[in-house]
């Protein structure tokens, strides 16, 4: 776990003094280590090594590979109605978990609506009614508890109200305000902070072997979310940066056909419009005060961009970013972002 000294200190001390709360809420921005911390705590509960969590004993290993019978990992999933779809879903989930065991930072995304339903909570409750199988303790990690339906949340509340000395709950949540206040009040809250850009860069270089330029680019794009930066490692970001440069240049030179072509490419994949937009603003900023070793794309843009244009572009990009987060069509957002002549009232 990177950074998060305060959270670490509280948890370590409670663990060492044997005063762990029955239920924790780990909250804060996404991708800053909440889930990682939840797994470390779950490991510590059953670790048989010298210094818990050792990460090496069979209990620790089973926990992070989702093979520990006393680890209950609950996260929002689609709820198909047909039996054959349920079977397909079970396979899909098994595959996702296998990938996540390799790359713990992956978020479990589905391309359809998800929830934690009353059925999911009933399954959990029936498992919790048994004694721990292999460990001393049962650990329940619930990802995005705010995705519980009202029924599910009320049923889960009953479980929280009947504490068991052998069970610890860890709720991992980006949006605590969306949780039932009755659930919130039953959890000890541990806040996780946004990471410094420097912490993200350092981790990417030292733990994941990225070169400094790549690490800096990922850190800026992910805005302090190490989880997101790691997920982006597998993408072809250089290709996307080229797209961003092309788009910016086509917009400035009013070559609209090329601009639309570049926009088609940039909207072709999930998450890409956001990244391309971030890269466009990074490139635009680099172009206004180009460093001597700047890339050719930045230098050629520097010759095109005037100060007032940059101001308009930056304002438009800010607007496009907000619009994108509010589900305005990515094509429209990118169009606005690369056309200095579009005034913001048009978006």
Per this entry, what is the length of the chain?
347
Contact 25, 188 (CB under 8 A): yes
**Does residue 65 interact with Zn ion by CB under 5 A?**
no
* Least CB distance to Zn ion at residue 50 (A): 9
**Does residue 139 interact with Zn ion by CB under 5 A?**
no
**The pair of three-digit structure tokens given for residue 176, joined into one six-digit string:** 């605590």
Contact 77, 114 (CB under 8 A): yes
* Least CB distance to Zn ion at residue 68 (A): 11
Cβ-based nearer residue to Zn ion, 57 or 108 = 57
DSSP 198-267: HHHHHHHHHHH---HHHHHHHHHHHTT-HHHHHHHTTS-HHHHHHHHHHHHHHHHTT-HHHHHHHHHHHT
| 2, 15, 49, 180: residue in contact with Zn ion (rule CB under 5 A) | 49
Q: How far apart are CA 96 and CA 100, in angstroms?
A: 6
Please identify which residue in the block is written with the tokens 């039932």.
180
Cβ-based nearer residue to Zn ion, 11 or 60 = 60
| 60, 229, 276, 317: residue in contact with Zn ion (rule CB under 5 A) | 60
* Least CB distance to Zn ion at residue 132 (A): 16
CA dihedral 256→287→206→223, nearest 10 degrees, is -70
Q: Look up residue 190 and give its DSSP letter.
A: E
Interface segment toward Zn ion; rule CB under 5 A; list 2-10, 57-65, 274-282, 297-305: 57-65
| 32, 41, 45, 47: residue in contact with Zn ion (rule CB under 5 A) | 47
Q: Look up residue 296 and give its DSSP letter.
A: H
From residue 54, how far is each of 6, 22, 57, 68 by CA, in Å?
Answer: 21, 22, 7, 16
Q: How far apart are CA 122 and CA 207, in angstroms?
A: 40
Interface segment toward Zn ion; rule CB under 5 A; list 18-26, 60-68, 195-203, 291-299: 60-68
* Least CB distance to Zn ion at residue 46 (A): 8
**Does residue 54 interact with Zn ion by CB under 5 A?**
yes
Cβ-based nearer residue to Zn ion, 57 or 180 = 57
Single out the residue of 32, 33, 54 nearest to residue 45, CA to CA. Answer: 54
* Least CB distance to Zn ion at residue 64 (A): 10
* Least CB distance to Zn ion at residue 51 (A): 9
Contact 200, 37 (CB under 8 A): no
Cβ-based nearer residue to Zn ion, 54 or 97 = 54
Cβ-based nearer residue to Zn ion, 64 or 201 = 64
Interface segment toward Zn ion; rule CB under 5 A; list 11-19, 46-54, 243-251, 322-330: 46-54
* Least CB distance to Zn ion at residue 20 (A): 16
What mask of x and - would describe binding to Zn ion in positions 292 to 331, judged by CB under 5 A? ----------------------------------------
**The pair of three-digit structure tokens given for residue 44, joined into one six-digit string:** 């510590």
* Least CB distance to Zn ion at residue 47 (A): 3
Sheet strands (E) in the chain: 23-27, 71-74, 138-143, 167-173, 188-191
Interface segment toward Zn ion; rule CB under 5 A; list 55-63, 176-184, 297-305, 324-332: 55-63
* Least CB distance to Zn ion at residue 15 (A): 13
Given the rule CB under 5 A, which residues bind Zn ion?
Answer: 47, 49, 54, 57, 60
């Amino acid at each position: 776990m990177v950074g998060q000294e305060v959270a670490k200190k509280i948890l370590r001390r409670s663990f060492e003094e044997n005063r762990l709360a029955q239920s924790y809420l780990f909250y804060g921005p996404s991708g800053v280590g909440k889930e990682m911390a939840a797994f470390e705590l779950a490991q510590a509960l059953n670790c048989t090594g010298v210094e818990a969590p050792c990460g090496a004993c069979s209990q620790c290993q089973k926990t992070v590979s989702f093979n520990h019978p006393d680890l209950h990992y609950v996260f929002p999933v689609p709820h198909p109605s047909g039996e054959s779809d349920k079977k397909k879903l079970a396979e899909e989930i098994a595959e996702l978990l296998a990938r996540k065991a390799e790359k713990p930072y992956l978020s479990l995304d589905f391309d359809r609506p998800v929830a934690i339903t009353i059925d999911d909570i009933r399954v959990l409750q029936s498992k919790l009614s048994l004694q721990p199988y292999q460990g001393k303790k049962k650990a329940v990690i619930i990802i995005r508890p705010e995705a519980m339906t009202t029924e599910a949340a009320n049923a889960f509340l009953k479980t929280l109200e009947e504490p068991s000395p052998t069970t610890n709950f860890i709720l991992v949540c980006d949006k605590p305000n969306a949780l039932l206040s009755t659930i919130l009040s039953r959890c000890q809250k541990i806040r996780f902070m946004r990471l410094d850009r420097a912490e993200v860069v350092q981790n990417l270089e030292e733990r994941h072997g990225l070169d400094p330029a790549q690490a800096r680019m990922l850190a800026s794009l992910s805005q302090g979310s190490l989880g997101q930066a790691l997920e982006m490692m597998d993408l072809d970001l250089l290709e996307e940066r080229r797209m961003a440069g092309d788009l910016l240049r086509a917009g400035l030179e009013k070559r609209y056909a090329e601009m639309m072509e570049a926009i088609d490419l940039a909207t072709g994949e999930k998450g890409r419009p956001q990244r391309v937009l971030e890269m466009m603003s990074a490139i635009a900023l680099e172009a206004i005060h180009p460093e001597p070793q700047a890339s050719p794309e930045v230098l050629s843009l520097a010759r095109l961009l005037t100060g007032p244009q940059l101001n308009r572009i930056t304002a438009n990009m800010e607007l496009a970013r907000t619009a994108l987060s509010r589900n305005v069509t990515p094509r429209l957002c990118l169009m606005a972002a690369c056309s200095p002549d579009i005034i913001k009232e048009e978006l």
